[in-house]
Structure 1
Amino acid sequence: MGKYYFKLAWLSLKKTPLLSLLMIGTIAIGIAASMTTITVGYMMGQNPLPHKSERVAMVHLNSWDPSQPIGYRKNGEVDIPSLLTYQDAMALLAANKADKHVPFVSFNSAVRAENEDVIDAQLHQIRSTSRHFFSVFGAPFIYGGTWSEEADQQGQSVIVLSKRENDRLFQGANSVGEHIIVGTHLYRVVGVIDDWQPTPKFYVNYYDMYSPTLPFFVPLESQIQNNFFSPTTMGWYCWGDGPSSTLQEVMLSECAWIRFWVEFESEDKKHEYFKFMEDYTEEQRKVGRFARPEPNRLMSVTEYLEEEGAVSEENKIGIGFALAFLFACLCNVMSLMMTKFHGKGGEVGLRRAVGASKQNITVQFGFEAALIGFFGGVIGLLLTQLGLSALTDMYPEYHVNVMTMDITLMVSTVALAVSTSLLFGLWPIYRTSRVQLSSQLKSL
């Protein structure tokens, strides 16, 4: 029976091609506009670590100057930096109260292969962190693995590369054991991670969440010992003018510049860690630090994303406008369906005369509305891809993942078109199924 109704719907579309194309095109444009905006919002706001986002947390100890009400601006509002001083980060590492610790910062340096000339070196931003970075945040290795605990503690000159940089420097071969030169220091490759781009890149600050993942990773202590210092890229905040001449001055100061994440095996350990943070704060207050009244924070991944405003208000407003545009398009489609179905009154009367029930008529035109929605959804999906491609060119600072639909969104696009076409076709279908049999037969 379904095949029969599908055939009737297809024949009906072919009878009025211009009107059918107009309805399909209107749905397609509305779907494309809304799904382009929804895709960006969905990809920006999804949970990037769903299997353990509540067990991974960002540590915030409020050591900021009590006399200064402003730390930095986030989404147009003042806030205190979600960063730690060097002495606090080292104290948390030494206490070893979490299952895994991930302090990190970044710096700029020229990078080249061991056999390349100095003029071939390229300036890159490098992530200095701990060996736990890759397991906590889920970075997959294709060669080798992370460095050892001794490398963390001793600041050994070891490095992990991204697949992209391994392809550039070593033509994609297994480079574990090879060496590259960072600045003037020789670093041994211990691992290569595969293409990896969590969306959003939740472990950094809000304005860097959609940029590409950094291509190089070294131990934090290695940065310290080799004196890599990039004031413009380290993202550090100091009281007043603050020290700015050397890395050692920043380390000895109250400057906040190290982001610190931890992972726990259980909620109980998380609660115990927060109690440890409170005790540590009280100890520091006794020596004149941590004088601000704001409490410490231990935020899960989802809480941190919300705190940082991963999806901006402008994006939410854009989604609202896009859905309003889709509603307007569907209202036009409903009007066109009313015209089309009203013109089929004679056909309806004839079908009723030969025994078709109102339910049969409703199903027939329901199939037609669904078919219109399906074609509109498919074309809308193609237009959405074009729109996302255009946005990728317009906003090169955003990683391509932000502008890419996954299979869930693709299916949802067509499903949205079909369901809304049916929904807005209910009134025209109802009116058509209620036509007076006698008046329509007289018009034949």
Structure 2
Amino acid sequence: MFGYYLELALHSFRRSRALTALMIVAVALGIGASMTTLTVLHVLSGDPLPGRSGSVFLPRLDPRDRDGYDPYAALPSQVTWTDGVDLLHARRAARQALMVGGATAVQSDEREVDPYLVTARYTTGDFFPMFGVPFRFGAGWSAAEDDGHARVAVIAASLNDRLFHGRNSVGRTLHVDGADLRIVGVLEPWRAVPHFYDLATGEYAGAEEVFVPLFVARELKLKRNGGVECWGQGRTDDDRMEAASCLWLQFWVQLDDASAVASYRAFLDGYAHEQVALGRFTRPPASDLTNVRRYLDERQVVPGDVRLQVWIALGFFVVCLVNTVGLMLAKFMRGAGELGVRRALGASRRSVFTQLVVEATLIGVAGGVGGLLFALLGLALVRLQSTAAAQLAHLDGTMLAATFAASIVATALAGVVPAWRACRVPAALQLKSQ
């Protein structure tokens, strides 16, 4: 019977081309606007560590002086060199990474390619397994290599393509600001969205292209980027940040279960009390563990206007659907005579109702195709903006499926009331209208 209903629907479309076109355009506009804003929200508010974000935490302390003390303010999200190294060497978590962003000039050992500036991440070796960073060649460095200040590096696929033409460069030499580092790993294309582990370098910053052990980067005096908060004597020059009273490093830990979280929380609280007793911390002892999603919510990484735009677009979609219901009712009632003939020939109300719902569903399919085109156009216009977040606006498989599903389901539901009304008209009256 479906084939027969399909044939009737196509006949009805040909008979009422203008009305059918209006319904398809209304659905397409509503779907296109909604999917554009929902896709932007989906990308910007996505989980940067799928399957891992619940076990990755930001330990937080407050080593600042008493100036401006507010007991209700959020704790700093960065650590000093002293606290970061102490927590790192305590090794109380399954994995831990101390890091800071940077920028440096790089050159391959072939020398025919001139040095050029790339973004960098100076970190410890657990960065890669803790964040699930995928490797194309080789692997990261070990904790022993961190402790031994091994002069190694991991590079991104984009840098490997540019310097080594995509070949396996593990074991090759990378010249970093005049120093020679041995490449131990090449990453697959990878980017955390949002850039949760260092929001100071950009909430939606691109992926770094070279990764260097933190202690080696400090020895080589590689250029550092990111936020800094200092107190007391104030900030010194960048070469002496280890001794400065400044928050400038990011420290993340992996805690795999509730008992590990409780144990680390107790350790962190004990560390804060110990530092107060030693006189390093002058504020009342305070500490916290913040997981990735809570940290992103606290920092309000997703712009508020994006959520507002989603609600406005969904409201527009509802208006489009209401108009579609009206147009569909007018279309079905216009074909009352043909429906009366079918009823007189023995068709049940149920079969006529099903026929009309199939017709509404086909309108939804056509509206879904049009909505997809409008969504692609809308996302292309979003990407014309100069912000880093705007460049992420692409329709993925999940949102593509959602576009068609929303269009078909919404239009089929919108066709229920007009179809029911058309079926309730007595067959005699429908034949009389004929």
Deviations 1:318-371 (A, max 9, x none): 110110111111111112112111111111211111112221221111011111
- Asked whether 1:271 is paired with 2:262, we answer yes
Tell me the CA shift for residue 113 of structure 1.
1.8
- Secondary structure of the residue aligned to 2:367 is helix
Question: Residue 69 and residue 430 in structure 1: after superposition, are their counterparts in 2 closer, same or farther (change >3 A)?
Answer: farther
- Asked whether 1:90 is paired with 2:85, we answer yes
Partner of 2:36 in structure 1? Answer: 36
| Letter matched to residue 413 of structure 1 | T
Runs ≥4 residues deviating over 3 A: 78-81, 289-295
Q: Indicate if the aligned counterparts of 2:156 and 2:186 stay in contact, CA closer than 8 A.
A: yes
| Letter matched to residue 416 of structure 2 | L
Which of 180, 185, 190 lines up with 2:179 in the alignment?
A: 185
Tell me the CA shift for residue 32 of structure 1.
0.6
Q: Indicate if the aligned counterparts of 1:55 and 1:267 stay in contact, CA closer than 8 A.
A: no
Deviations 1:220-274 (A, max 9, x none): 10111112243xx2322112782242321x2112200111111123321121111
* Separation (CA, whole Å) in 2 of partners of 1:241 and 1:437: 91
Q: Indicate if the aligned counterparts of 2:157 and 2:186 stay in contact, CA closer than 8 A.
A: yes
| Letter matched to residue 6 of structure 1 | L
Q: Indicate if the aligned counterparts of 2:44 and 2:389 stay in contact, CA closer than 8 A.
A: no
The aligned runs of 1:369-388 (5 Å cut-off) are 369-388=360-379
* Separation (CA, whole Å) in 1 of partners of 2:181 and 2:112: 16
**TM-score if structure 2 supplies the norm length?**
0.94
* Separation (CA, whole Å) in 2 of partners of 1:416 and 1:294: 52
Which of 237, 246, 261 lines up with 2:229 in the alignment?
A: 237
| Letter matched to residue 90 of structure 2 | A
* Separation (CA, whole Å) in 1 of partners of 2:382 and 2:78: 32
- Unaligned regions of 5+ residues in structure 1, if any? 71-77
The aligned runs of 1:120-135 (5 Å cut-off) are 120-135=114-129
Question: Residue 399 and residue 164 in structure 1: after superposition, are their counterparts in 2 closer, same or farther (change >3 A)?
Answer: farther
The aligned runs of 1:8-19 (5 Å cut-off) are 8-19=8-19
Tell me the CA shift for residue 108 of structure 1.
1.9
* Separation (CA, whole Å) in 2 of partners of 1:221 and 1:6: 69
- Asked whether 1:109 is paired with 2:104, we answer yes
Tell me the CA shift for residue 139 of structure 1.
1.0
* Separation (CA, whole Å) in 2 of partners of 1:439 and 1:26: 31
- Asked whether 1:325 is paired with 2:319, we answer no
Deviations 1:393-437 (A, max 9, x none): 32452375x312222211111110111112222222222111132
- Asked whether 1:259 is paired with 2:253, we answer no
Partner of 1:205 in structure 2? Answer: 199
Tell me the CA shift for residue 209 of structure 1.
3.3
- Secondary structure of the residue aligned to 1:369 is helix
Greater mean deviation of Cα atoms: 12-21 or 29-38: 12-21
Partner of 1:420 in structure 2? Answer: 410
- Secondary structure of the residue aligned to 1:181 is strand
The aligned runs of 1:335-374 (5 Å cut-off) are 335-374=326-365
Partner of 1:4 in structure 2? Answer: 4
Q: Indicate if the aligned counterparts of 1:155 and 1:223 stay in contact, CA closer than 8 A.
A: no
* Separation (CA, whole Å) in 2 of partners of 1:206 and 1:334: 49
Aligned residues: 433
* Separation (CA, whole Å) in 2 of partners of 1:399 and 1:187: 35
* Separation (CA, whole Å) in 2 of partners of 1:11 and 1:206: 60
Question: Residue 301 and residue 80 in structure 1: after superposition, are their counterparts in 2 closer, same or farther (change >3 A)?
Answer: closer
* Separation (CA, whole Å) in 2 of partners of 1:281 and 1:295: 6
Q: Indicate if the aligned counterparts of 1:64 and 1:80 stay in contact, CA closer than 8 A.
A: no
* Separation (CA, whole Å) in 1 of partners of 2:337 and 2:285: 75
Tell me the CA shift for residue 206 of structure 1.
7.1
* Separation (CA, whole Å) in 2 of partners of 1:90 and 1:377: 55
| Structure 1 vs Structure 2 CA RMSD | 2.1
Tell me the CA shift for residue 79 of structure 1.
5.4
Greater mean deviation of Cα atoms: 251-260 or 404-413: 404-413
Partner of 1:74 in structure 2? Answer: none
Greater mean deviation of Cα atoms: 81-90 or 351-360: 351-360
Partner of 1:75 in structure 2? Answer: none
The share of aligned pairs that are identical, in percent, is 35
**TM-score if structure 1 supplies the norm length?**
0.92
Question: Residue 207 and residue 344 in structure 1: after superposition, are their counterparts in 2 closer, same or farther (change >3 A)?
Answer: farther
Partner of 1:433 in structure 2? Answer: 423
